[in-house]
């Protein structure tokens, strides 16, 4: 049977077994039981309270779906999880994948008694975690009441003495007081920050101070001598660095300055086709640009770099929404075409089988070794038994075991997804929300190869064979017109080169489905 070892070292108790100790005992357990260990998973200094915070644990659960190992060995059952729900949930997943969890140091087996013992261990582990959390909370509350340092990031302007108490830093405390006085006196945070940088000031982390350093410092009530932990607040817990009048004046100024429009910058508009959109006339890249009309409205376009910067191309700019909505329409169109999806799934499945040159070679060697073992066994049955025969058989058996282990490792490192897995992953894109920025960008990143824009048409190249689609601007305009004016679809439409951003341009999917495929990918 093949096994993996999972080891975890929690930072909440520095006296527990180290990762190396866990691996050693788990390895000895595997040898006693005759298991072959093919991989180890290690989460260092991570609590076992929540499984989804442990990357190696989650990777182990995912790898179990490949059916490459039969057993997960842990030092103690609480290394698997301290949370009762997580423990049951993930063990059920492993069980469905044909994998069981074994403890190297606790008497747990598959008998009813063993299952009962496992529940007891898990229950105790959950109790331990809650009890530990309460003890830690009580200890930190007690520290707060006494004005003792609770750990974490040290507040700029203080140092911690041998009694773990806060003391003003002779140099930094003066800087803190100076910042408060200057800001209360009307000096801007930008000016204060510039002067600190010119003096070469560094934060406690040794970094150059930023704007947030100034703002957070001015908001920190710890400089009043106030110490807080959860609901516990202690006044005058240590020496304050600023008086209450100056502090409150700074708070009022911060609140007032945050209301000024200059502090709020508009969010940059996302140009989803950047890096994949090209000029149909010169073949150069097209970049996102924007402009403001006389009415104050902002219009966004894609403009040929050569036409805009070098004036060496005559390509006109094209409306951003017009192009993006057309591309997204075609992507969503293929996601609803089962024939195309079947072809994509088959291609992806075949490609992943070709991606590893190591695995086919290992399997070929294993087949050859098995044939040689059969030949030796045939010779033995015929009475041909010599010292050489025995040594040859032993060597072949060792080679066979080594190859099987290497194959299992390679399959874990390069898991082969089934066609169902691939189809399920692709189907998720079919539910994408075209009003969601992240969803739109994901669709473009995965399915779009490139877009070539001419003055009267677009060439959309999607990431599958025969995925090159050419559509004229007149077809797109007609589709939009039919959608918006079903009774009078011959009305004149504005040029896509200059039209304003219009939500209606994103609703052309139904009428674009019949656009002609003019070209094919080789």
Distance (Å, whole) CA 277 – CA 167: 60
Angle between helices 419-429 and 320-335 (to 10 degrees): 150
pLDDT at 499: 38
Pick from 378, 413, 448: which residue ends a domain? 413
Q: pLDDT tens for residues 481-522?
A: 776 666 654 444 444 444 334 333 333 333 332 232 222 222
User: Which distant-in-sequence residues (6+ apart) come within 8 Å of 383 by Cβ?
Assistant: none
Model confidence at 127, in pLDDT bands (50, 70, 90)?
low
Can you read off the two tokens belonging to residue 147? 């004005």
Q: Are 407 and 39 in contact (CB under 8 A)?
A: no
Answer whether residue 256 is part of any domain: yes
pLDDT at 48: 52
Domain co-membership, 229 together with 374: no
Model confidence at 47, in pLDDT bands (50, 70, 90)?
low
Q: Is the pLDDT of residue 115 over 60?
A: no
Nearest alpha carbon to residue 149 among 164, 129, 134, 133: 164
Q: Is the pLDDT of residue 133 over 70?
A: no
pLDDT at 50: 63
pLDDT > 90 fraction of the chain, expressed in percent and rounded? 21
Residue 248: give its domain's CATH number.
3.90.1750.20
Domain co-membership, 330 together with 372: no
What SS3 state is found at 287? Answer: strand
Model confidence at 263, in pLDDT bands (50, 70, 90)?
very low
Average pLDDT over residues 413-418: 63
Model confidence at 251, in pLDDT bands (50, 70, 90)?
very high
Q: Is the pLDDT of residue 237 over 80?
A: yes
Domain co-membership, 456 together with 310: yes
pLDDT at 70: 92
Domain co-membership, 297 together with 440: yes
Domain co-membership, 258 together with 211: yes
pLDDT > 70 fraction of the chain, expressed in percent and rounded? 75
Stretch among 3-17, 52-66, 360-374 having the lowest mean pLDDT: 3-17
Answer whether residue 499 is part of any domain: yes
Domain co-membership, 444 together with 399: no
If you average pLDDT over each of 102-106, 172-176, 458-462, which comes out highest?
172-176
pLDDT at 5: 94
pLDDT at 89: 76
Strand partners, 448: 462
Answer whether residue 110 is part of any domain: yes
Neighbours of 377 (CB within 10 A): 13
Q: pLDDT tens for residues 296-353?
A: 888 899 999 888 888 889 898 999 988 998 899 888 888 888 888 888 888 777 766 5
Over the chain, what is the mean pLDDT?
78
pTM of model > 0.75? no
User: Which distant-in-sequence residues (6+ apart) come within 8 Å of 418 by Cβ?
Assistant: 349
More reliable by pLDDT, 409 or 140: 140
More reliable by pLDDT, 519 or 250: 250
Number of domains in the chain: 4
pLDDT at 421: 78
Answer whether residue 151 is part of any domain: no
- Sheet with 71-74, edge to edge strand ranges: 36-44, 2-9, 71-74, 100-103
Answer whether residue 351 is part of any domain: no
Answer whether residue 139 is part of any domain: no
Domain co-membership, 323 together with 465: yes
Stretch among 341-355, 386-400, 457-471 having the lowest mean pLDDT: 341-355
Model confidence at 117, in pLDDT bands (50, 70, 90)?
very low
Stretch among 81-85, 286-290, 478-482 having the lowest mean pLDDT: 81-85
Pick from 232, 263, 294: which residue ends a domain? 263
Domain assignment of residue 223, given as a range: 158-263
Alpha-carbon torsion, ordered 56, 62, 64, 67, to 10 deg: -140
Domain co-membership, 99 together with 23: yes
Domain co-membership, 321 together with 372: no
Average pLDDT over residues 4-11: 82
Answer whether residue 152 is part of any domain: no
pLDDT at 69: 93
Model confidence at 131, in pLDDT bands (50, 70, 90)?
low
Helix (H) or strand (E) holding 424: helix 419-429
pLDDT at 304: 93
Domain co-membership, 282 together with 218: no
Can you read off the two tokens belonging to residue 192? 């204060």
- Sheet with 448-453, edge to edge strand ranges: 277-279, 448-453, 457-462, 468-472
Q: pLDDT tens for residues 192-223?
A: 999 999 888 988 888 899 988 999 999 999 99
Domain co-membership, 481 together with 493: yes
Model confidence at 293, in pLDDT bands (50, 70, 90)?
confident
Answer whether residue 145 is part of any domain: no
Can you read off the two tokens belonging to residue 109? 């087996």
Nearest alpha carbon to residue 318 among 299, 300, 297, 302: 302
Nearest alpha carbon to residue 129 among 50, 23, 60: 50
Pick from 413, 446, 462: which residue ends a domain? 413
Domain co-membership, 122 together with 87: yes
Average pLDDT over residues 356-364: 72
Model confidence at 27, in pLDDT bands (50, 70, 90)?
very high
């Amino acid at each position: 049977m093949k096994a993996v070892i999972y080891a975890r070292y929690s930072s909440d108790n520095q006296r527990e077994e180290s990762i190396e100790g866990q691996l050693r005992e788990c390895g000895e357990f595997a040898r006693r039981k005759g298991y072959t260990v093919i991989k180890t998973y290690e989460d260092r200094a991570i609590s076992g309270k929540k499984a989804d915070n442990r990357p190696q644990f989650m990777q182990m659960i995912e790898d179990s779906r490949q059916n490459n190992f039969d057993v997960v060995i842990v030092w103690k059952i609480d290394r698997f999880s301290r949370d009762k729900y997580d423990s049951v949930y993930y063990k059920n997943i492993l069980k469905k994948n044909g994998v069981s969890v074994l403890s190297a140091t606790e008497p747990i087996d598959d008998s009813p008694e063993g299952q009962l013992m496992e529940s007891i261990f898990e229950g105790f582990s959950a109790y331990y975690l809650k009890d530990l959390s309460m003890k830690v909370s009580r200890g930190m509350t007690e520290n707060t009441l006494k004005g003792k340092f609770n750990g974490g990031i040290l507040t700029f302007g203080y140092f911690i003495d041998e009694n773990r108490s806060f003391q003003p830093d002779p140099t930094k405390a003066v800087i803190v007081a100076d910042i408060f006085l200057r800001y209360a006196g009307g000096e801007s945070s930008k000016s204060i920050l510039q002067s600190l940088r010119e003096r070469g000031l560094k934060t406690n982390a040794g970094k150059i101070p930023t704007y947030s350093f100034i703002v957070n410092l001015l908001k920190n009530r710890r400089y009043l001598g106030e110490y807080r932990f959860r609901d516990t607040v202690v006044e005058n817990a240590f020496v304050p660095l600023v008086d209450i009048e100056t502090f409150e004046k700074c708070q009022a100024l911060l609140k007032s300055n945050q209301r000024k429009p200059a502090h709020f910058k508009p969010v940059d508009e996302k140009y989803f086709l950047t890096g994949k959109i090209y000029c149909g006339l010169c073949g150069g890249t097209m970049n996102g640009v924007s402009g403001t009309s006389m009415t104050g409205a902002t219009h966004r376009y894609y403009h040929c770099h050569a036409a805009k910067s070098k004036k060496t191309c005559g390509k006109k700019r094209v409306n951003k929404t017009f192009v993006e909505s057309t591309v997204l329409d075609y992507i969503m169109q293929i996601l609803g075409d089962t024939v195309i999806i079947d072809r994509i799934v088959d291609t992806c499945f075949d490609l992943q089988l070709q991606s590893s040159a190591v695995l086919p070679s290992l399997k070929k060697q294993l087949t050859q070794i098995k044939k040689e073992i059969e030949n030796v066994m045939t010779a033995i049955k015929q009475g041909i038994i010599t010292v050489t025969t025995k040594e040859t058989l032993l060597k072949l058996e060792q080679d066979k075991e080594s190859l099987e282990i290497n194959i299992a490792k390679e399959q874990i490192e390069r898991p082969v997804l089934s066609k169902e897995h691939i189809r399920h992953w692709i189907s998720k894109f079919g539910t994408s929300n075209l009003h969601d920025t992240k969803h739109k960008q994901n669709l473009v990143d995965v399915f779009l190869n490139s877009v070539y824009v001419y003055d009267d048409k677009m060439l959309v190249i999607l990431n599958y064979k025969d995925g090159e689609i050419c559509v004229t601007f007149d077809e797109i305009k007609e589709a939009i017109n039919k959608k918006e004016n079903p009774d009078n679809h011959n009305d004149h439409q504005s040029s896509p080169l200059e039209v304003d951003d219009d939500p209606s341009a994103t609703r052309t999917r139904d009428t674009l489905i019949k656009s002609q495929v003019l070209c094919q990918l080789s």
